[in-house]
Amino acid sequence: MFDKYRIAGYLGEALDKTRKGVSADTSLDRTELKGRRWPLLRNPKNMTHAKNLASHSLRKEYAALGRGWSPVQAFKKLWEFRSETWALKHFKRWYFWATHSRLAPFIKLARMLKRHLANIPTCLRKPITNAAAEGLNSKIQLIKYRARGYRNADRFERAIHFQLGGLDPLPTHTKV
């Protein structure tokens, strides 16, 4: 499924791979990059002014990071379009930009997104995600982890019903 959040994850992975590539380059001074992963990956709208300036200076100092950060921010504008036609025009411009960025992670990502281009306008028409199902699955996996496994499937099923079914763990007993 290609929803907004999955694509944002792919964009973040491509930017992180670009950061790792810059960090692996031995010809650059990498002291500024140490511990600076999250300012690059976070949304600038959710950062303080000081962190936003630090992120900006990092992108300015390392050109590859700036070239990788810009397509990530530009792709986010695709979700603001209400018309599929305009969204596809925006995607085509973004695709050209990403494939000419000289950054291998973004070229690979752009080609993958182009192969699945038919799914992206669907997200604009029907903004449905599987976030609720993934959240429920996460809770079930946590139940399984806490118990360190179950002897049989019936006990596991009962634990799920008990934990996620909204039952009171300490019911009050009333005499009849």
pLDDT, one tens digit per residue, over 87-134 is 889 999 999 989 988 889 999 999 999 998 887 777 777 777 777 888
Cα separation, 1 vs 10, in Å, equals 12
Between these two residues, 57 and 107, which has the higher pLDDT value?
107
In this structure, the dihedral spanned by the alpha carbons of residues 26, 107, 36 and 34, taken in order and rounded to 10 degrees, is -20
Could you tell me what percentage of the chain is helix, strand and coil, using 3-state DSSP and rounding each to the nearest 5?
A: 70, 0, 30
What does each C-alpha distance from 150 to 142, 154, 157 come to in angstroms? 13, 9, 10
Host H or E run for residue 19: helix 4-24
Q: What mean pLDDT comes out for the span 73-82?
A: 85
pLDDT tens across 26-49, in order?
A: 665 666 666 666 666 677 777 777
The residue type of 175 is K
Between these two residues, 22 and 38, which has the higher pLDDT value?
22
Handedness of CA 156, 157, 160, 162 (dihedral sign): negative
Q: What mean pLDDT comes out for the span 60-67?
A: 75
